Structure formats: C-alpha cells, structure tokens
Structure 1
Amino acid sequence: MSRLAGKVAIVTGAGQGLGLSFAKALAKEGAKITIAEFNAETGEKAVEELKAMGAEALFVQCDVSNEEQVKDVVTKTVETLGTVNILVNNAQASKPTASILETTYESMELAWKTGTVASFFFMQQCVPHMKESGYGRIINVCSDTGIDGMEKFAAYGSAKEAIRGLTRVAAREFGEFGITVNVVSPGALTPAAKLWMEKDPEGYRKTMEPVPLGRLGDPDVDIAPGVVFLASEEGRFMTGQTVFLNGGHTFGR
C-alpha cells in the first residue's frame, strides 16, 4: 500500500526544480498535492504532470510572502482536497549574490520574506488542519550556504538559517499534537546547478572534491526520498532535526 495514501500535501515553489521533485515523490506514494507557485505557467504544467501520473492535484497561484495569498492556498486546498496533512516549505526567492557590504536591504527583505516569513505563514495556516486530522508533517528547506557561512550569501544564507531556528521552535510547540517539524539541507543537481556544471566543469570538480560522495544529488533519486520519509509514518519519531541530503558536504551540526 502507498505510504501516503489519503494524505494531502502542500508543496510551495513546486512549479519546477526541487519543489516539483518533492511533489512527484509524494504523489507517487499516494498523496494528493497542492502546488503553491508564483509562476502560473510552471504551476499549471506541474499539475498536468502530476495528473498524468494518476495523482489528484491542484494549482493555486501564490506569492508566498503575502499572508492573504497563503491563506487562500490553504483554504482552497481544504475545500478541494479535504484537509492538509503535509507541508513542504520549499519556495525561496533571492537576488544575485553579493558581499555583506554590497548586499542591499531589498535583497535581505526578499530572501527573508519569501523564505523565513513564508514558512511561518504556511505553518500558522496549516497546523490547525493537521491537529484536526490527527496527522501533521512539516518539512522546511535550508541550505549549506547558511550552515557553512559561505561568502556572498548574506541574504539567502541568513534567511535559510533562520528557517532552522523557526523549525526547532515549531517542533517543540507542535510536538504535543503529534506534528513533526524538520529541515532538509539538499545538495541537488538542479537545472541551475547543471548549467553551472556545464559552464564551469573545473569549478564544479573543485567544489565537489571535499564532498565524500563527490557529487551533487539527483533531485528525484537522492533528495526527494528523504522528504517522503519525513512525510511518512516512518518519520514519526524524528522532529526538530536537520537532515543533510548533500552527499556529506556538511556533517550534522
């Protein structure tokens, strides 16, 4: 039997890339999926792809930094699919990298509002439905850029680290309801990473040298199964944790 049969998941930023991989993996295990995506074209295509797999899926256009639009996503999900059991906060916008001295307030605001604040909004709206349904799994997404303090990632990295802090607080507050809250830190060969690898193979090789497994992970094969585990019954006793799906690029900390 599919591990997530009868469950309903919202995946943000799932029109493409990692978010789409997460949505597909959850759907393969029987979950009904809401794609919360800013880009209407990619969002609609993602839903078509999920329906072609035989999944029940819904697209709701959403600026995840807008609280009213977040409420609309959750309301439409409950009205159409019945409830919300699983939330994957994957969406994140950011501007080009820059040193701290060159980073603008606008860059900081964008990263924090679409990452940390958006995750906060979605948790606030989804948790009451998880409590009511008796099943809740929240999976947030952080980044090695914040964990390692990578240069020129002040806005993006700090927002991603704030998500880890928010996750730990949420894990303590929601644990009494049986709701787990975890973070994944993916090192994925996304379309953007593929372009970088093709454009600068030597740079890719040097970056991968210290990584024990020596490569970025395939979004579908290496990364998404970790999200499915956290969303499933098997992940029921793990909460407040950062799961490093990055080939060993960053060890637990």
Structure 2
Amino acid sequence: MLHPDVHKVSENRPTEIEHFPAGMRGKSAFPSVHPIVRTDDVASIATAQSAFVYSSPWPLQGNAINGANMGILEGRVAIVTGGAAGIGRGITEAYARAGASVLMADIDVAAGDEVIDYLAAELQGRVSFMQVDVTDKAQVHAMVAQAVSQFGRLDILVNNAWRGSGFARLEEQTDENMRGAFDMALMAAFWAMQASLPEFRRLGAGRVINLCSLNGVNAHMYSADYNAGKEALRTLTRTAAREWAEYQVCCNVICPGAASDAYQRFARSNPENAAAMANANPMGRIGDPLTDIAPVALFLASDDSRYLTGNTLFVDGGAHINGVHWAPKLP
C-alpha cells in the first residue's frame, strides 16, 4: 500500500500518451546542490585522497550539477527501487530535478520519509514514497500499478534494490543466501519489467535501467550469491533488450563504482582494502552516487539514449579496465 505521508503530483501534470520529445536534449539536470548521500568517517578513507576533484572547476563543467539540463525528463514518470539510499537515492533526486515524477520504492520507511522531507522544499510533489518489499511479487505488481494510477503513466523503470549480505566462502554459502540473492537481484526486476511492459507499449517507448555490479563481472571473492544474482540480471537485461526492441523499449545496465551504502558497509569492515581500491582506481577515487552515477542513469532515461539498448555501462572511473583490488579479510 502507499505510504500515508506520500506526496502526490498536482492534477495538471501531463498524462497524455506521447513519445520522449526530441526537444528535451542538451541540458543538464541538477542545479548547484550538495549531494544527498552522506558518507561516514570510516568510508571516507577511500575517497579522501581525491577530494580535490570536487573543488576543481573542470569536472563540474561536464557534470549535471551545474543546472544546464533542467527539464530533460519533464512530464516523464519513473520508478526507482531501493530509491531511499545510496545510488537509488542519487537517481531519485537526479530524476526529480530533471523534471520527472518519481515513485521511490523502498522497504525502509524512515529512509523514504527522510528523502521526502529533504526534497520537499524544492521539489514538492515530484517524489512520492511507497514501502515495497521487492522480493514479494504482489508488492512489485502493486508498485507498478500505483505509479500508473498516481501519475497517469510510466516511462522509466530503475531496478536498484538490494539488501545487504555478508561475505562467505563459496563452500559456506547457504541455499537461503543464494535463493535470496536471486529473488532480490533477478526475480524482483523480472516481475517489475513484466508488469511495466504493457504501459511502455501503450506509450510507444520505455526505459529499463538495471543496476548490476563489477563484483559479478570480475568474480570477486566471497560474494558468490551477489555475483551470481547480478550477472543473471545482466543476462535478463540483454534478453529483454533484444525482445523488446521492436517496442522501442531500451534496456541497459549500469555497473557502478560508487560510495553506496553497500560500499560503506564494506569500507567499515575492510578500511584498508577500501582505501587500496580507491588508490588503484585510474581516477584515484570512488564515485559519488549523485554526481557520478546518477547523470548516467539520467542519460539512459532520456530521449538521447533512444538508440542504445542491451549495453552494460561501467561507471567506475575506469576500475573495470585492469580489475579491482578486492581482497576482504575472512577468518
């Protein structure tokens, strides 16, 4: 069910059937704002070496935080799962600032309310919150139905939700861990994609953006459940891209390298490894969910990406090129 404190869009927002307009291009999405994703002192070990990047004028000119792309998603409606924290929260804010109406789905009510409160002053009515457990098929279907009912349409689906899981050697992984990972990473997206397709076909176009991971691509140690679930999602995305291309539905993957909540948990438990990862990154830092990852998700949601489908975009500062220094300590 919809959270009682949900903010609804005004009744005069566009709801008619229309394609992504070609005129909404060449602009950036963010005014000058501070990131909503906050890092604690432990996790910041991994990013402190390159903090100068954010004070230099050059990176900001090519970034969406300068406000040049306002309105690129005006009139569009998006669902972002896991939208109340980390990368999902960055994407939620980016889309709202770009003009979209966003249904932010998350299991954490307190986190969802905090995002609504944070954005209320500037973006009243653009973001609403719905408590959703994406491992429950009925709740996922209700989420899609709510977006269409509340906003009149659905153009963009971002599957980002993931619950934290600990590290374990392959021989110690349990059936419960593996099934849980596939329910969260694969089945949740599968259900949401199936439920969204009729609306995409009605509108004549759509966007599916699935968040996967370098952990799976590089077969990182001690996270077989996460790796396998995310790689299964990549395959699902490519299959959907092929089958749904005739409907002008673009399906793509982002493999991010960012200081997400999951990364911060890793940094707290393995601070030395986290710092080594940041140092080994070709750009010398771990990315920011709002200013580094969200602009790519914004591009994939826009009309500018209408001929791009079935791709995996590594938004990681080049970390995928030579691999990531991943060696968490286990007993």
TM-score (norm 2): 0.73
**Kept in 2: contact 1:15–1:39 (CA 8 A):** yes
**Kept in 2: contact 1:94–1:107 (CA 8 A):** no
- SS of the equivalent of 2:166 reads coil
Identical counterparts, % of pairs:
38
Deviation at 1:203, TM superposition (A): 2.5
Any residues of structure 2 matched to 1:56-205 within 5 Å, and which? Answer: 56-194=126-264, 197=267, 201-205=271-275
The 1:233/1:37 distance shift into structure 2, 3 A limit, reads same
What do the CA deviations read for 1:13-61 (whole angstroms, capped 9, x no partner)? 1111111101000111100000111112212222333333325222111
CA distance in 1, matches of 2:295, 2:159: 16
Deviates more, 1:115-124 or 1:189-198: 189-198
Q: Which residue of structure 1 aligns with residue 86 of structure 2? A: 17
What do the CA deviations read for 1:132-170 (whole angstroms, capped 9, x no partner)? 122301100100110000010100011000010000000
**Kept in 1: contact 2:72–2:98 (CA 8 A):** yes
Provide runs of 4+ in structure 1 moved above 6 Å.
none
CA distance in 2, matches of 1:140, 1:175: 16
Any residues of structure 2 matched to 1:39-50 within 5 Å, and which? Answer: 39-50=108-119
**Structure 2 unpaired stretches of 5+:** 1-69, 323-331
What do the CA deviations read for 1:158-204 (whole angstroms, capped 9, x no partner)? 10000100000000011001110000000001245346557755322
CA distance in 1, matches of 2:170, 2:154: 39
Higher relative contact order (CA 8 A, sep 6+): 2
CA distance in 2, matches of 1:164, 1:91: 15
TM-score (norm 1): 0.94
Q: Which residue of structure 2 aligns with residue 244 of structure 1? A: 314
What do the CA deviations read for 1:47-101 (whole angstroms, capped 9, x no partner)? 3333333252221111101111011111111111111100000001242110110
CA distance in 2, matches of 1:164, 1:71: 21
| Number of positions where the alignment pairs a residue of Structure 1 with one of Structure 2 | 253
Is 1:33 the counterpart of 2:131? The answer is no
Matching residue within 210, 219, 226 for 2:289: 219
Amino acid paired to 1:75: A
CA distance in 1, matches of 2:221, 2:255: 18
Larger gyration radius, structure 1 or structure 2 = 2
**Kept in 2: contact 1:90–1:141 (CA 8 A):** yes
Deviates more, 1:199-208 or 1:92-101: 199-208
RMSD: 1.9
